[in-house]
Amino acid sequence: MRLALTALLLCSSVWAQTKAAPKAATPAKATGKSAAKGPQGPNLLKPDTLNAKAPAIFIVRLETTKGNIDIRVVKAWAPIGVERYYNLVRAGFYDNTYFFRALDFMTQVGISSKPEISKVWAEKTMFDDRVIQTNKRGTVTFAAAGSPNSRSTQFFINKKNENSYLDSLKFAPFGEVVEGMEIVDMIYTGYGDMPPIQDALINRGDAFIKEQYPRMDRIIKATILTVVEP
């Protein structure tokens, strides 16, 4: 197999004053439930906080160094993967991530450029989804480490219809490019199928890429563009 896919968001209280306005009383200390902290928002250093429920269908925009790529994500295609992808995009995981493996038949991204985040997510794998859609040009699929239930954060965009052989290897597409496939084709491929750089990228992050691979394209920002009613 020519592909060894790896490891992809004050109010102030104003007292009305009158001529005989009394001195405001000192507020009592909050106790019990009122003193409790509210729910914790998504924090990439704490994966358990990324637990929002993904919509059935939504559009993700990848603003890249070559242009915008819009991906239609369909929960019914790969529900486990879509829950992960939705929460990662929502929390900003894919902002400033590099297309570290770009070849003629696919382009791969999904290692954080911040080492402290990369190390937290490196082992946060998820169960495999059943393959419902075929891996063809434009489909978007989580990468895996060649063993069951090894998907984490990396994903790839298929560039050829001939990638259907990945179906039998349990690579389950979870979305498809609806705008910007020409941008995918423009992602820099000049570094070829270079020796694995994942460990260095995880350990050194953005500095490593800028030093060693200055022409490598990246996702500048990933956002949930819209939610589509099923």
Backbone angles phi, psi at 136, to 5 degrees: -130, 175
pLDDT mean over 65-86: 98
Beta bridge partners of 151: 126
- In this structure, the strands spanning 139-142 and 173-179 are antiparallel
Per residue in 100-133, pLDDT tens? 999 999 999 999 999 999 999 988 999 999 999 9
Output the pLDDT for position 8.
36
Among all chains, which residue has been given the structure tokens 């895996």? Answer: 144
Sequence-ordered list of residues with C-beta below 8 angstroms from that of 72, at least 6 positions apart, any chain: 57, 58, 59, 175, 176, 177, 178, 228
- For residue 83, the surrounding DSSP H or E stretch is helix 79-91
pLDDT mean over 177-190: 98
- Checking if the pLDDT of 142 tops 80, the result is yes
Backbone angles phi, psi at 205, to 5 degrees: 65, -145
Domains of the chain: 55-228 (2.40.100.10)
Count the Cβ atoms, other than its own, within 10 Å of residue 32.
6
pLDDT mean over 19-35: 42
Output the pLDDT for position 146.
83
Gyration radius (Cα) of the chain, Å? 22
Kindly state the tokens that stand for 189.
């491929």
- Checking if the pLDDT of 21 tops 50, the result is no
Q: Which of 16-30, 33-47, 172-186 has the lowest mean pLDDT?
A: 16-30
